[in-house]
Amino acid sequence: MNEQNIDLVIFGGMGDLAGRKLLPALYQIERSGLLSERIRLAVVARENIETKAFLAYAEQRIRKAIPSAEWVESVWEKLARRFSYLNIDFSNKKDFSRLKGWTDPNRLLICYMATPPSLFGAISQHLFDAGCIQESTRIVLEKPIGHNLESSCQVNDTVGRYFSERNIYRIDHYLGKETVQNLLALRFANRMINSQWDNTCIDHIQITVAETVGIEGRWGYYDQVGQLRDMLQNHLLQLLCMVAMEPPNSFAADEIRAEKIKILRALTIIDESKVEEHAVRGQYSAGWIAGQPVRGYTEEVDCKNEVSKTETFVAIKAHIDNWRWSGVPFYLRTGKRLGEKVTQVVITYKDQPHGIFPNRTDTSMNRLVIRLQPNEGIQLEMVAKKQSLKDRLSLEKRVLNLDFFDATGEERIPDAYERLLLEVFKGDQWLFVSREEIEASWHWCDSLIQAWQAKSLKVHRYSSGSTGPAKAEFLIERDQRSWFEE
């Protein structure tokens, strides 16, 4: 079979993910000329409409998601010609014969599940019963894959009955971000950085994923999961792996995954005896974001539980039990409705072994700030002599700034989903998460959740628009360190 003859079927193609991410990503891939002529697209959803009505909807969603200057009518017309709309009720086995009629056994079928995970099993089974699944058929799964280790195993077992592991593409969209991949380049293509990347040189590492958005009308889902399961179990732990893993033998999927899994398995379990010192939970109350008043979590319009104790913020002090990272704390924090949207990794280096300058302070430590979004770039804080005839050898902090966006001269940074869709078409799993990784992440998170449940860990309130609960400051200040805030 010619691998380039591809049929991509998006299940849940009228849903939020497809509208916000997948359709715009397909448009941008088409615009950049990278969508092979031999790719056909189908959208499968419950709505009883024709392809024409779907195209009107898709056009409107894409226009809304991209800057107007990037709209090119001829690109859209070319993309639109690839689409078919199939009206299928996912719970109705018989409807799948319509899909079977559309597919072609001589083409590679890729099934993208932009649906709630509870449907992954049923859809896979119906696909199988309808005779759509061949040995080469790929399936793409969106998170969340379960809400704990047990349920994630159930999802993986069910899907695994119909698809082999090498054909299962589990998305963590952070891995599709250009700047996250850039972490690999930064670490492994720069001797200067690589040679200083361990506990002999690094004092501690901070990973922050701060969001200004709230739960965006997803109260029903979010209240069942909270920020640890929604963000830390996947995105932050994947970032942690990228920062902490050993150099892989190559960038082949198996090699990278093997290194990531070692990190996840080396995470020290935070049990009841440690949880109060290592974890902070928070929940946003009303406040102001970008000059606008916003509601508190339990005042959101779709709130069903006014006394909910679900966390919308979490800060964790983690350790990796291995040779390279022994004694180096990793401070992780993520929260909704914070003052600024920022994703960054901050590496703070140890001070010199012996001080020969007078008046040295902690601020003279070197710090490498890797900003993943927005304003993608790197800052290196260095210490230099203060230029002055008055002072003999006074020091001051200077910052070297590398802005990726300006430096590349690129028109725009591609969205994560553009990269991920291209990798699925190519059949390369290097940016997708393996079953073992998911299970190791859940294993660690489950113990943490059990520990905080056993200790009834308080959920501290923080005002929307702030940097999170004050208790999160104590988590790091207790160690004579502080969060990096620009």
Known catalytic membership, residue 235: yes
Residue with smaller CB distance to ligand BG6, 20 or 481? 20
Q: Does 439 participate in binding ligand BG6 (rule CB under 6 A)?
A: no
Kindly provide the residue ranges of all beta strands, DSSP E only, lying in 330-407, ordered along the sequence: 330-335, 342-349, 367-373, 377-385, 395-403
CA distance 71 to 27: 9
Q: Which of 30, 203, 223, 230 binds ligand BG6 (CB under 6 A)?
A: 230
Could you tell me the smallest distance in angstroms from the CB atom of residue 237 to ligand BG6? 13
- Euclidean distance between the first and final Cα of the chain, in Å? 53
What residues contact residue 155 under an 8 Å CB cut-off, 6+ apart? Answer: 117, 120, 121, 141, 145, 146
Give the distance, in angstroms, between the CA of residue 39 and the centroid of all CA atoms in the same chain: 27
Contact by Cβ (8 Å): 168, 159: yes
Q: Give how many residues touch ligand BG6 by CB under 6 A.
A: 4
Could you tell me the smallest distance in angstroms from the CB atom of residue 363 to ligand BG6? 30
Tokens of 79: 């993309």
Could you tell me the smallest distance in angstroms from the CB atom of residue 335 to ligand BG6? 11
- Cα Rg for the chain, rounded, in angstroms? 24
Site string for ligand BG6, 288-327 (x = CB under 6 A): ----------------------------------------
Helices (H), 214-301: 219-227, 237-244, 253-266, 275-278
CA distance 311 to 284: 8
Q: List the interface residues with ligand BG6, window 5-34 (CB under 6 A).
A: none
Q: Which of 34, 72, 213, 393 binds ligand BG6 (CB under 6 A)?
A: 213
Residue with smaller CB distance to ligand BG6, 213 or 399? 213
Residue with smaller CB distance to ligand BG6, 137 or 233? 233
Residue with smaller CB distance to ligand BG6, 127 or 141? 141
Residue with smaller CB distance to ligand BG6, 126 or 337? 337
Could you tell me the smallest distance in angstroms from the CB atom of residue 412 to ligand BG6? 15
Residue with smaller CB distance to ligand BG6, 231 or 264? 231
Sheet holding 313-318, edge to edge: 395-403, 377-385, 367-373, 342-349, 202-210, 330-335, 313-318, 279-285, 459-463
Give the distance, in angstroms, between the CA of residue 305 and the centroid of all CA atoms in the same chain: 28
Q: Which of 211, 223, 311, 423 binds ligand BG6 (CB under 6 A)?
A: 211
Among candidate residues 126, 147, 173, 235, the one labeled active-site is 235
Residue among 204, 459, 202 nearest 315 (CA): 459
CA distance 141 to 295: 32
**Nearest residue to the partner ligand BG6, using Cβ:** 230
Give the distance, in angstroms, between the CA of residue 91 and the centroid of all CA atoms in the same chain: 30
Q: Which residues belong to the active site?
A: 235
The residues of the shown chain that bind ligand BG6, judged by CB under 6 A, are 211, 213, 230-231
